[in-house]
Chain A
């Protein structure tokens, strides 16, 4: 399968750029980021709070295969429907720092769209720690959790 998702992490920079084209209208792509039901399904997390408005906040909780609960939270700084979301994101009780996320949504055609996720970390070291995270957590656990949720919802 071709690589649809592109990740750029330039050496010495404290940001990561993630881009991806979708076979989805931009309205649906945007919805996937702002409706708790959809977030729960594709992110594999439980949404405890999601107040999607300017200065609103969100709180997620994910359970790893060992049964440990990991909390995530952040604040919506600003957004423009179907175009942009600017928010903060933090993994609770972890030494990964808080990150600033700038998500840009782009309509390609009526049925296709693209997202650009610019994630800015507190330092280059924080960024590199986050990049290594899939090794530490085991790349599949988020995925497995997602499968579980999807199977339950059927």
Chain B
């Protein structure tokens, strides 16, 4: 089994984010992806490899070409990273609501 990489590490790099937005539009070959960048084909291949290891991209063989497309489950995992942040704010807001509600009651006294 391959060591699972951090999904946030995958999207921390601006070039990898650019690759994600390219591939989000349509499945692409590594050559087609690399044409959008000024970097060497090897650099782009490395980024694609990382994104694939994080299961954000998926490979698909079509004839002699390999196409990469977005794995919706990988993107879902990124969304789930938001949950602890949401929970933090939800707790804060719950506290805000109870603190301020006690003000209403004090006014009524």
> A residues bordering B, Cβ < 8 Å?
3-7, 9, 11-12, 16, 18, 20, 22-24, 28-29, 31-32, 38, 41-44, 124-125, 128, 131-135, 139, 142-143, 146, 150
Verify A9–B82 contact, CB threshold 8 A: yes
Smallest CB separation, A144 vs chain B (Å): 10
Instruction: Name the prevailing secondary structure of the B interface residues.
Output: helix
A-B residue pair count with CB separations less than 8 angstroms: 90
> B residues bordering A, Cβ < 8 Å?
8, 11-12, 14, 17, 20-21, 75, 78, 81-82, 84-93, 95-97, 99-101, 103-104
Offer 17 A-B interface pairs, CB within 8 angstroms, sorted by A.
A4-B90, A5-B93, A11-B20, A20-B93, A22-B96, A24-B100, A24-B101, A28-B104, A32-B100, A42-B99, A124-B14, A125-B14, A134-B88, A139-B84, A142-B91, A143-B95, A146-B95
Contacts of A31 in B (CB 8 A): 100, 103
Verify B17–A7 contact, CB threshold 8 A: no
Instruction: Contacts A38-B100, A42-B95, A128-B8 given; indicate if A20 touches B78 (C-beta within 8 A).
Output: no
Q: How far is the CA of A128 from the CA of B84 in the complex (A)?
A: 13
Instruction: Name the prevailing secondary structure of the A interface residues.
Output: helix
Contacts of A32 in B (CB 8 A): 96, 99-100
One of A20, A23, A28 near B89 (C-beta < 8 A)? A20
Q: How far is the CA of A6 from the CA of B82 in the complex (A)?
A: 10
One of B11, B90, B99, B101 near A5 (C-beta < 8 A)? B90
Q: Which residue of chain A has the shortest Cβ distance to B81 in the bound complex?
A: A131
Contacts of B101 in A (CB 8 A): 23-24
Verify B85–A7 contact, CB threshold 8 A: yes
Smallest CB separation, A139 vs chain B (Å): 5
Q: How far is the CA of A43 from the CA of B99 in the complex (A)?
A: 11
Instruction: Contacts A24-B100, A142-B92 given; indicate if A7 touches B82 (C-beta within 8 A).
Output: yes
Verify A134–B17 contact, CB threshold 8 A: no
Contacts of B17 in A (CB 8 A): 11-12, 124
Q: How far is the CA of A110 from the CA of B91 in the complex (A)?
A: 24
Contacts of B88 in A (CB 8 A): 134, 139, 142-143
Q: How far is the CA of A42 from the CA of B85 in the complex (A)?
A: 16
Contacts of A16 in B (CB 8 A): 85
Smallest CB separation, A32 vs chain B (Å): 5
Contacts of A5 in B (CB 8 A): 86, 89-90, 93
Nearest 4 Cβ contacts at the A-B interface = A5-B90, A134-B84, A42-B96, A7-B86
